[in-house]
Structure 1
Amino acid sequence: MRTHLHPLTLASAGTARHLRSLHFGRCETGRKVYIQASLHADEVPPMLVAQALREHLLALESAGLIGGEIVLVPMANPIGLSQEMQGVLCGRFDMATGINFNRQYRHLTAELIPLLAPMLGPDPLENQRLIRSAALALLGGQAAQTQTERLKQLLQTLAMDADIVLDLHCDTQAVMHVYTGTPLAAAAAPLARLLGAQALLLSRDSGDDPFDETVARIWWELAEHFGPARPVPLACFAATVELRGELQVEPQLAEQDARALLEFLRQAGHIEGAGDADAQAQPALCEATPLEGVEPITAPHNGILVFCKQPGDMVSAGEAVAEVIDPLTDQRSLLCASAAGRLFARVSRSYATAGMRVCKVAGTQAFRSGKLLSL
């Protein structure tokens, strides 16, 4: 294992932070996997999964079973981990700007097209090499102005030339679920099955340029732009993996999830050796559905929030999932799903404010557009 410490731009006088990346296997093969944990720094379960992955990867490397390079960033957001306010860790948003740490990464397609137009030819592998080289040059050619900009630049650079990118998160209260690009649905199905995901959510463009999309979208967008005469392969599979709820910091689950992720990498050809029989036996628990079909159910007024559905429950159209009770006016409102689907995530708060998203139901029919992700 090789450890790299990447310095971040100084945020204030007398302080310094670093991003730590762990590199396993051999980088000279050109094959690469990138995994990062807890970009939202207050989402702790991914960091525990990363610790389990580290132990397994050390053993696999010692046995010579890693065919290419696997890069693991076990703590992707040292800035967010420092943002504690009166005993509460606030790691989702950059306190300096209010911007979500998983939004506004650099979408490179428009910049890449004029650079690549005179370069691409009929060989898809050579085109892949040229695209990765150009993308890395663009990322490295622009100086970051702030510490958060530098962090995002580093993360995107570490992932940009990877064949597989896995961004490990968790929700507040949730079942396992996965987000990925619509063109990557077939590649995502084994990952969702091995993890026991109960929702696999697809979108070509979810809005606001989250991390995983900015390393994957360029491939299908460039392929569509340049057409079959200058073929561009889908050279990067990227997904956001939501490891259940934020309080499920359990070694047994972390070990289970790490084994599932490693089995996915083995099946994709990045790890050699015998497969994990337990992970292989995991049945598929869901079919892929459009992110545009997710219904965010909101509270119509302030009040006590009482759920009548648990994460993972199936709900019918018109069925109540929660009730809001205003203790000031005694107003009571049932919150009902407008379409059938699975309630896959909900808030952990017991008091709702007017307009607050309290849960999400994954339906099969697309009905939303625009910015599809929560704040």
Structure 2
Amino acid sequence: MQIQHHPLPSASLGTHREIASFHYGPAGGRKAYLQASLHADELPGMLVAHHLRARLKQLEDDGALLGEVVIVPLANPIGVAQSIQGSAFGRFDLPSGVNFNRGYPHLTPKLKQALEGKLGGDGDDNVRLIRELARQSLQEWPGAGETEAMKVILLSLAVDADVVLDLHCDHEAVMHLYTAPQLADRAMPLAALLGAQVVLTANESGDDPFDEACSRHWWELAEHAGTGSNVPFACLSATVELRGTQDVRHDLARQDAEALLDFLALEGFVACESMPTVPAAACEPTPLQGVEPLAAPHGGLLVFVREPGEDVRAGDVIAEIVDPVSGLVTPLCTSISGRFFARTNARFVHRGMRVAKVAGATPFRVGKLLSA
């Protein structure tokens, strides 16, 4: 195992932060990259990474790792240091207000120019060339501030990987995944092993999150090269939502770490006498455009009457908004049928606040599809 330290530029006099990456197995071949807590107040991924590191060290000592596995257990040292009067504030960069999981470099435009006339008929050669040019492009990316530099470092660690898993969580939720439609079939064994109850897919969700920055350019370059081109979809990337913020438990983290290792075995990173058994999936992929975010029609107490993981039908009441002064009770109903999979952990809400999400099979939304 090797530890690499990636210093961030100092944002202010007397401060210094760095990202630590842990590298297991033989480098130079296939590579898997996993990072935790890019939203720094989403903590379950840190504990999963802790258990993964112990297991990977054991596998490495046993000679059972067939490729390189990179773990970044604390992807956001900037956000983890942010608090407001004792409350963690790790989703947004305080100086700029920018979401830490938005605004990653979209590599396709630069790569199209750099690859002009250089792609050949050998898919492996094309993959090596595209990855080399992608790394060069990131070195040239203007990242003047500390947060922008952090984004470039993280993407540089992941851009040449065959598998990229970004470990997050929601407020209160069941296990769920985000990935691209082109990658859904390859991601479904991961979903099944983790017990995911929702798998959401989108070509472009809006605002360039980390997972899309790692994989989106592959199918865009293949489309640009045209019929007969040999540009594989060389990176499976997914955002893994490890339930809710309070699900920081050793039993869950060990379970999730073993599921991730089983998936890495299926992907050829771990040698084993027999391949892991993949259980039946708990869901089919559904479009991110089919998710209905439910918003509070007015302020008041939020009382849920349904639980995440339940299947609901159009018109079902998900929660009630109670005005304790007037006594008004307003039912909050879903307009679609699907799976209620995530909700806020707030129990007093303001008008317009998003409080719940239902995943439906029929796309109906356009534009930016992710929450702020």
* TM-score normalized with structure 1 length: 0.97
Match of 2:90 in 1: 91
Match of 2:231 in 1: 232
Q: Are the counterparts in 1 of residues 189 and 278 from structure 2 also a CA contact under 8 Å?
A: no
Report the AA paired with residue 295 of structure 1: E
- Tell me, in whole angstroms, the C-alpha distance in 2 between the residues paired with 1:238 and 1:158: 13
**In the TM superposition, what are the counterparts of 1:1-375 in structure 2 within 5 Å?**
1-28=1-28, 30-274=29-273, 280=277, 282-375=279-372
CA deviation profile, 1:152-172 (whole Å, cap 9, x unmatched): 000000000000000000111
Shift of 1:352: 1.2
Q: Are the counterparts in 2 of residues 305 and 351 from structure 1 also a CA contact under 8 Å?
A: yes
CA deviation profile, 1:237-276 (whole Å, cap 9, x unmatched): 0000000010011000000000000000101111111358
- Tell me, in whole angstroms, the C-alpha distance in 2 between the residues paired with 1:276 and 1:226: 36
CA deviation profile, 1:136-186 (whole Å, cap 9, x unmatched): 100011342111011000000000000000000011100000000111010
- Tell me, in whole angstroms, the C-alpha distance in 1 between the residues paired with 2:311 and 2:273: 36
Shift of 1:281: 5.6
Q: Are the counterparts in 1 of residues 192 and 278 from structure 2 also a CA contact under 8 Å?
A: no
- Tell me, in whole angstroms, the C-alpha distance in 2 between the residues paired with 1:174 and 1:229: 43
- Tell me, in whole angstroms, the C-alpha distance in 2 between the residues paired with 1:324 and 1:349: 12
Deviates more, 1:320-329 or 1:240-249: 320-329
Q: Are the counterparts in 1 of residues 44 and 253 from structure 2 also a CA contact under 8 Å?
A: yes
CA deviation profile, 1:208-238 (whole Å, cap 9, x unmatched): 0000001110001110110233321000000
SS of residue in 2 equivalent to 1:27: coil
- Tell me, in whole angstroms, the C-alpha distance in 1 between the residues paired with 2:161 and 2:92: 26
SS of residue in 2 equivalent to 1:190: helix
Counting aligned pairs with the same residue, the percent is 53
Deviates more, 1:314-323 or 1:138-147: 138-147
- Tell me, in whole angstroms, the C-alpha distance in 2 between the residues paired with 1:276 and 1:357: 42
Deviates more, 1:67-76 or 1:323-332: 323-332
Shift of 1:114: 1.3
Q: Tell me how large the CA RMSD over aligned residues is.
A: 1.1
Q: Are the counterparts in 2 of residues 123 and 230 from structure 1 also a CA contact under 8 Å?
A: no
Report the AA paired with residue 292 of structure 1: Q
SS of residue in 2 equivalent to 1:342: strand
CA deviation profile, 1:10-62 (whole Å, cap 9, x unmatched): 0100110010000001112x210000000000011100000000000000100
SS of residue in 1 equivalent to 2:16: coil
Q: Are the counterparts in 1 of residues 265 and 275 from structure 2 also a CA contact under 8 Å?
A: no
Q: Are the counterparts in 2 of residues 4 and 20 from structure 1 also a CA contact under 8 Å?
A: yes
Report the AA paired with residue 25 of structure 2: G
Report the AA paired with residue 255 of structure 2: Q
Report the AA paired with residue 354 of structure 1: R
Report the AA paired with residue 143 of structure 2: A
Unmatched tracts of structure 1, length 5 or more: none
Report the AA paired with residue 76 of structure 2: N
Report the AA paired with residue 193 of structure 1: A
Shift of 1:283: 2.9
- Tell me, in whole angstroms, the C-alpha distance in 2 between the residues paired with 1:276 and 1:253: 22
SS of residue in 1 equivalent to 2:331: strand
Q: Are the counterparts in 2 of residues 121 and 229 from structure 1 also a CA contact under 8 Å?
A: no
SS of residue in 1 equivalent to 2:23: strand
Unmatched tracts of structure 2, length 5 or more: none
- Tell me, in whole angstroms, the C-alpha distance in 2 between the residues paired with 1:266 and 1:20: 25
- Tell me, in whole angstroms, the C-alpha distance in 2 between the residues paired with 1:65 and 1:227: 40
Q: Are the counterparts in 2 of residues 317 and 337 from structure 1 also a CA contact under 8 Å?
A: yes
- Tell me, in whole angstroms, the C-alpha distance in 2 between the residues paired with 1:160 and 1:17: 22
